[in-house]
Structure formats: structure tokens, C-alpha cells
Amino acid sequence: MTWAKELEELRQREALAEEMGGPEKVARQHSRGKMDARARLDALCDPGSFREIGKIAGKGHYDENGDLTGVTPAPFLFGKATVHGRPIVATADDFTIRGGAADAGIARKMVQAEKMAHELRLPIVKMIDGTGGGGSVKTLEQIGATYIPAVPGWGDVVTNLDTVPVVALALGPTAGLGAARIAASHYSIMVRGLSQLFAAGPAVVDGLGEGYKSSADHQQAKEELGGVDIHTRNGVVDDEVATEAEAFARARHFLSFMPEHVGQLARRAQTGDPVERREDALLSLVPRDEKQVYSMRRAMEMILDQGTVFEIGRNWGRAAITALARLNGWPVAVVASDPSYLGGSWEAKTSEKVERFVKLADQFRLPIVHLVDNPGFMIGREAEMAGTIRYGVAAMNAIYRASVPLASVVMRRAYGIAGSAMSNADTYQYRFCWPSGDWGSLPIAGGVEVAYKSDLEASDDPQAELARIRKRLAKVTSPFRSAERFNVEDIIDPRDTRPLLCEFADLAWRKLGAEL
């Protein structure tokens, strides 16, 4: 006797699961320009690597004789896969089944996926589309009662944030628990025109009468309430992309910089970029006129391994650029001032962005490179209203708490408390300064007339006296005067920045390797 009959039933159930919500609902998903859950898993993972777990879970339908007539599959798929040959846990919500909502029994699949990630120390990628595991009003009627809200397994979500890389892709309207799962990640992406994110959707918000009335057009209402232009600019979501394919590519790229778990080191890659490459264009990058801006992103491309810069959070906290990149093949985390936005001054959102990024680098043991042109914290009433100093100090505290090696390059300005947040001054300063360096407790240009008020009032020609004072101070502010007192360690030819930072990366990874 064999078990052929049971195997036949297994194949039947697997075939039913592969139908997802049925041909009509799958076609509707595709008509909206969205891939279905199974196609998404195939696109994210290395070809043929996805092994599904709990494939036949769902709600079976039976006739009066107890024979199977159909199955409503679970609207959540997960399994083991590989990305770049390295194991991960891959998950996908299936919007074709109840909009991605799940009852308590099927929600156990989601809990098991989270447990698998941290117990086996595997990165987890979540493709979220819909409520992402939440219930619905109809569910309450079916139960016959309401319940005090709780999220089973959320402790596992928190544990994963402490132990493994977590990537979340918003691939449709995500509300409630789905939105929370997007935010509970180390790296998140939205697709323009496809993704929206909100604690509650437009219909619920309108129904509560909170003073906001959404547009009559359903798609426009979703965009107005929680579209890409909102959440990739307020810091809830890191990045936006144009297509799902781009979202999968960026998720895979992010993971290429990451270790598989805390306690393991990220991997070196061969980039083919010579360590001794010296770019002449760096000599004229920083203009002599302090009011002129320049492209920090261009500087990064010239200094870091070519083609490796992976910027994160480009559309929010824009006075600082945060990126993963490589130096001599070693992965590093880069924080760089952007003088083209607010002159590089850190406002509240920029400080929040720097804090989060530095914590990410420290958690996953990536050395930090800080390219500095920081005139200080943003000032003025609006900055005070935003609580800039609190966020700024939190960013500075993150830099002081970080235990990974950090190298800073002062390219131009470093003023005030924000300027001092370039590195931990209580540790060895692995620091280089360009001849264009300009630093101090406050910009001299803005304080001369106050500091020399009496001299100017006593002068027969205040403007000429002011010019003479500025000329004297220009000599005092020379970076070479600071170097005389060893207030700065080294002033370098800008073209030497790459070779010196590659040397730093070699030494930093030597130290990190000794930690294991």
C-alpha cells in the first residue's frame, strides 16, 4: 500500500493555492499595474531559490460528505530563499485574497516568518500590499464580538529589528498593521503611483469627521492622504522608485551591503577601483566664495569606489546625504553634508535622519565616513518651533555612542555644536581637513560687527575699519593656524582623500574582524 491518494490530494491543494484569489481577482490585480504575490517572490529572489512554507494553509471548503470542493488560500506567503546566493526569509501579502487581511489562525504564518528570521539569523524581506495581516469590519460581524487590539508576534518583529536586516516594500495601499510593518524596518521603499501608506484610509478618516475631507476620486484620495510625496519626505519611508522591478533591485542592493545578522560581518566585494586613484577635479570642487555651493554627490563619486554609492533617504532630511558605499571593496556607511540644501545646516529632520543612519551603521558594524561641510544647526523661529536642538543633540549622541571606527573629512565648514558632531571627540580622531577648511564656535562673518562694535563706533570710517578687522581675522582663521596647535590632525591635498580613506577602511575592517 502506498500514500498515492494523499499525495494526489496534496498536489490538488497546492494547485488551488497557486490560483491565489482566483483568475478574476488576479486579473484585477494585474490590471492595476501590480504584480501578484507569487510573481513578486520570483522577481525578488534568486531564480528557483524560493521554497514556500505553509503553502496549503487556508480555509478549506467541503461538501455535505466532507469532501474538499475548494480552498481559500492564506493571503500571506513566506519561505526560505536566497538573494545573491545568501539565505533570507521572503514574505509577500496576497491582495487578491481579502485585500491581504487575515484571520487569527492564518496570521500565525506571519508570526512564524518573523520567528524564522531571528531564530535562524536570516534577513527578512516583507512585500506588503493591503492591511498586511489585519482584520476587517466584516470579520467582527463574523466573530460576533469586538476585541481589545493586540498584535500577536509583534515581539518577534521587535527582536528582528535588533538582530537581522529587515527590508519592507510597500507595493500597494497599506493601512493599519500593514503600515506599521513598513515602518518597522531598517530600509523601506514605496512605488510611485502604486503605493500609499496610512494609519487609516480616506474612507475611515472622512467617516470620523476630523476636519479633513478627501477627494472624491478614490486613487487621488489615497495619494493625498498617504502617497509617496508625503512619506518619502517626512522620513516614514526611506526611498521611492518608479516600478516594482526597481524596488526589488534596490532591496537586493541594500542587502548586499549588510551582514546576514548582528554578530556577523558584512562582506567585501571586488570593485576594480584602484586605491591610489586621485581625482584632479577635487582641487577645484570647493569654491573660494563661501556663499557658493558645490555638488557633494560628485565628491562622493570621486572619493568612494566608483559605481558603489547607494543613497538612502534622498528626499527627506536633505541637508545630509546618507549612503552605503565601498572603499577598496569594504562596505562603509557615509554621512555627507549637502551644501546645496539650507547651506548644509542641520534642521530637525536632517538630525533625525543622521541619528537613524548612524544607529544602523553601528548595529550592523559598518565603519562610518563623515564628509563635513556643516555651518551649524538651523536657526530662527521655525527651527526652534521644530525642536531642532533636541533632534540635533540626539544625532550627536548617536555619533558618540557608536563604537564602529569613524573617519571624518572636513571639506569646508564645521561650526558650533552641529560641527562638533562630526565625530566623537573623546576618541582617537581619524580626521583629515582640506585647505578650504573653515571652522569655529560660530561663523566669524556673522559676529564681527557685534564683537567689534565699540571699535567701529569709535572709528572715523567704520566701513574701512570693518574691512581691516576682517582682513586680520582672515589670517587667524587660516586652517594652518589650527594645525600649528594640533587642533586639526592633518591638512591634506584633496586628491589624497580617496587613498587615505581606503587606508582607513582597511584598518577599520581589521579592527572589526578582531571583534569576532
User: Is 326:269 a contact under the CB 8 Å cutoff?
Assistant: yes
Give the pLDDT confidence score for residue 213 in this predicted structure.
Answer: 58
Q: By 3-state DSSP, what share of the chain in percent is helix, strand and coil, each rounded to 5?
A: 45, 20, 35
Return the residue matching grid coordinates 560660530.
442
Instruction: Average the pLDDT over 19-26 and give the result.
Output: 94
Q: Do domains 35-58+74-257 and 280-441+478-515 have the same CATH topology?
A: yes
DSSP structure string for 362-387? HHTT--EEEEEEE--B--SHHHHHTT
Give the pLDDT confidence score for residue 206 in this predicted structure.
Answer: 56
Residue 190's nearest CA partner among 235, 238, 224 is 238
pLDDT band at 29; cut points 50, 70, 90:
very high
Q: Tell me how crowded residue 464 is: count the other CB atoms within 10 A of its CB.
A: 10
Return the residue matching grid coordinates 546576514.
260
Query: With 80 as the cut, is the pLDDT of residue 139 above it?
Result: no
Give the pLDDT confidence score for residue 209 in this predicted structure.
Answer: 55
Which range has the top average pLDDT, 347-351, 414-418, 476-480?
Answer: 347-351
Distance (Å, rounded) from C-alpha 25 to C-alpha 40?
Answer: 16
Residues 280-441+478-515: name the CATH superfamily: 2-enoyl-CoA Hydratase; Chain A, domain 1 (3.90.226.10)
Average pLDDT, the chain: 90
DSSP structure string for 43-89? HHSSTT--EEESTT-EEEEE-TTS-EEEEEE-SEEEEEEEETTEEEE
Query: With 60 as the cut, is the pLDDT of residue 282 above it?
Result: yes
Percent of the chain with pLDDT over 90: 72
Determine the residue type at 347. E
Give the pLDDT confidence score for residue 478 in this predicted structure.
Answer: 80
Q: Tell me how crowded residue 234 is: count the other CB atoms within 10 A of its CB.
A: 13
Handedness of CA 212, 134, 229, 319 (dihedral sign): positive
How do residues 235-257 score in pLDDT, each as one tens digit? 999 999 999 999 999 999 999 99
Count Cα neighbours of 199 within 13 Å in the Cβ-side half-sphere.
2
From 10-19, 64-73, 77-86, 230-239, the region with the lowest mean pLDDT: 64-73
How do residues 332-368 score in pLDDT, each as one tens digit? 999 999 999 999 999 999 999 999 999 999 999 999 9
Cell of 511: 579592527
From 192-196, 256-260, 454-458, 501-505, the region with the lowest mean pLDDT: 454-458
Distance (Å, rounded) from C-alpha 451 to C-alpha 448?
Answer: 5
Q: Where along the chain do its domains lie?
A: 35-58+74-257, 280-441+478-515
pTM: 0.91
Percent of the chain with pLDDT over 70: 91
CATH architecture of 35-58+74-257: Alpha-Beta Complex (3.90)
